[in-house]
Amino acid sequence: DGGITQSPKYLFRKEGQNVTLSCEQNLNHDAMYWYRQDPGQGLRLIYYSQIVNDFQKGDIAEGYSVSREKKESFPLTVTSAQKNPTAFYLCASSISSVTANTGELFFGEGSRLTVL
């Protein structure tokens, strides 16, 4: 079955530690996205990538980093510089950034990060 796989589903970390969230897709999509979800705030875009080896900052990129070395993979690192990292993180993909404008985003099931 084609889809997006995020791991781990739940993650705990101590303050000051970096953590990497995995996102893998087998849909052959060019574009991939990372969103952060906090209660009552909807989804906010962290980073997006329209093509392999290219990515752009979204609205709340500070304290995060990404890479896009392979088409199917778009890992997100939450660094110690992120002041409030506890949140639900969602990865998404679309055939291209143009088709994303038609709403055709496919989402993973999310990773819940808790900082202790």
Partner 1 sequence: AQSVTQLDSHVSVSEGTPVLLRCNYSSSYSPSLFWYVQHPNKGLQLLLKYTSAATLVKGINGFEAEFKKSETSFHLTKPSAHMSDAAEYFCVVSDRPSNTGKLIFGQGTTLQVKP
* Residues within the interface to partner 1 (CB under 8 A): 4, 31, 33, 35, 40-45, 48, 50, 56, 58, 88, 90, 92, 94, 96-105, 107-110, 112
- Name which of 13 and 44 has its Cβ closer to partner 1: 44
The minimum distance between CB 16 and partner 1, in angstroms, equals 27
Question: Between residues 10 and 17, which has the closer beta carbon with respect to partner 1?
Answer: 10
The secondary structure element, H or E, covering residue 99 is helix 97-100
Given the complex with partner 1, which of 11 and 80 has the nearer CB atom? Answer: 11
Q: Which of 10, 1, 4, 5 is nearest to 86 (CA)?
A: 10
Minimum distance between the CB of residue 70 and partner 1, rounded to whole angstroms?
A: 19
Within 10 angstroms of residue 85's Cβ, the number of other Cβ atoms is 21
CA atoms within 13 A on the CB side of 42: 3
